[in-house]
Structure 1
Amino acid sequence: MLVRSLTLATLLCAASPLFAADSDAPLAKELGKARPLVVIAPSSADPTLRGLSQASKDPATEAGFKERNLVLYSVASMMGMREDKHLEQQATMALIRELKLGVSKGTRVILIGKDGEQHVLRDGEGTEPLDAQAVFKAVDELPASEKAVTAPEPVAAAPAAGKPAGKDGKPVKPAKPSAPPKPLED
């Protein structure tokens, strides 16, 4: 019994980071469905961050965002948002970990394609704010192979239409349940 308990504990310790990584990865959820536009700014008063978030509320620019499947993620002062909705702290940290960025003093703007490839639009350098038209231009210049990527279809189970049929088309009787296995002896 002790051996089984130790084996189970070891398996859970080894597998738990894998389960945690799947549950809180915001960019992985967008893969194949949308193009995340991630803005990492030192503060919420950053001109690029404010300009892009205000532009996403404008009806004409909002239509451009939807047409190009853009989703705006922002991180300012370690507070994350997805299209003006706050992210949990764990999801914000997972977003930063997924990007694998180094240290920077300025604002970073990263466009992630549907295929998961990162395109850096601004790397902390430059003082002029980045506007929505520059983002649209960058999306329009993406390769055609990236634009053709779609979300993987979930595999649906074959619907059971009544009882299964046998060789000659007659319904088959369900099999008897097997006897429970004998308990293991230590």
Structure 2
Amino acid sequence: MRVRSLTLAILLAVAGPVFADEKPLEQDLYKARPLVIIAPSTADPTLRGLNKALEDPATKKAFDDRNLVLYSVAGMIGKRDDKFLEQQTTMALIREFKFSAKDTVATLVVLVGKDGTQKIIEHTGTVEPKTIFDAVDALPAAEKAIVAPTVAEQKQAASAPPKDGKQAKPAKPAKPLSPPKPLED
């Protein structure tokens, strides 16, 4: 019985990261512009200054008008718009930028466009909302015109015939599984 428990524990420890979100920013692709701040701690002046600035209704409205979504990682704790992320999602977010949170001394501020392009916002200690808004406003017109595909467009693309004109073969039906063998103790 102990062997089974140990085997299950090892399997879960190894397979856990496999089931984690590999790309947490994909949920915002073509919909919003993630602003990612990776800071060494919650006391970081860049992170605290931006959170304080977003308490102002005018700044928050300008933030929302530009379709920005704030991802913050302080130490090993991640948030998306002040909602905590799971630990595996936070680690996947850090890995996405090929950046180790424990090795950081400076705060990293990255603006991700709707199309997934990344732009590091340079700063000295703190970053003003105006700097972020200027970076968004400086994006090319093609990036600003991106809209998320509708459900109908996604279904149409999935049911469209392949471009080479060949029809795909239908999948073979799966064989029914045999009943499991009883365990022997």
TM beyond 0.5: yes
- Deviations along 1:134-180, one digit per CA (max 9) or x if unpaired, are 1001100011111111112224769xxxxxxxxxxxxxxxxxxxxx9
Residue equivalent to 2:108 = 108
Give the distance between the partners of 1:131 and 1:182, measured in 2 at CA. Answer: 60
The one-letter code of the counterpart of 1:50 is: R
Residue equivalent to 2:144 = 147
- Deviations along 1:48-107, one digit per CA (max 9) or x if unpaired, are 100111112210000001100000110011100111111110110111122223654200
Count of aligned positions: 144
Query: Which has the bigger relative contact order, CA under 8 A and spacing at least 6?
Result: 2
Residue equivalent to 2:75 = 77
CA contact (8 A) 2:39 2:104 kept: no
Residue equivalent to 2:4 = none
Aligned-partner SS, 1:45: coil
Residue equivalent to 1:138 = 135
The one-letter code of the counterpart of 1:31 is: L
The CA RMSD measured in Å over matched residues stands at: 2.9
Give the distance between the partners of 2:107 and 2:175, measured in 1 at CA. Answer: 64
Give the distance between the partners of 2:129 and 2:70, measured in 1 at CA. Answer: 11
Q: TM-score, normalised by structure 2?
A: 0.68
Aligned-partner SS, 1:49: helix
- Deviations along 1:99-134, one digit per CA (max 9) or x if unpaired, are 223654200100000000000003xxx643111111
- Structure number with larger C-alpha Rg: 1
CA 1:98–1:182: 2 relative to 1, 3 Å: closer
Question: Alpha-carbon deviation of 1:181?
Answer: 10
Residue equivalent to 2:167 = none
Q: TM-score, normalised by structure 1?
A: 0.68
CA 1:181–1:32: 2 relative to 1, 3 Å: closer
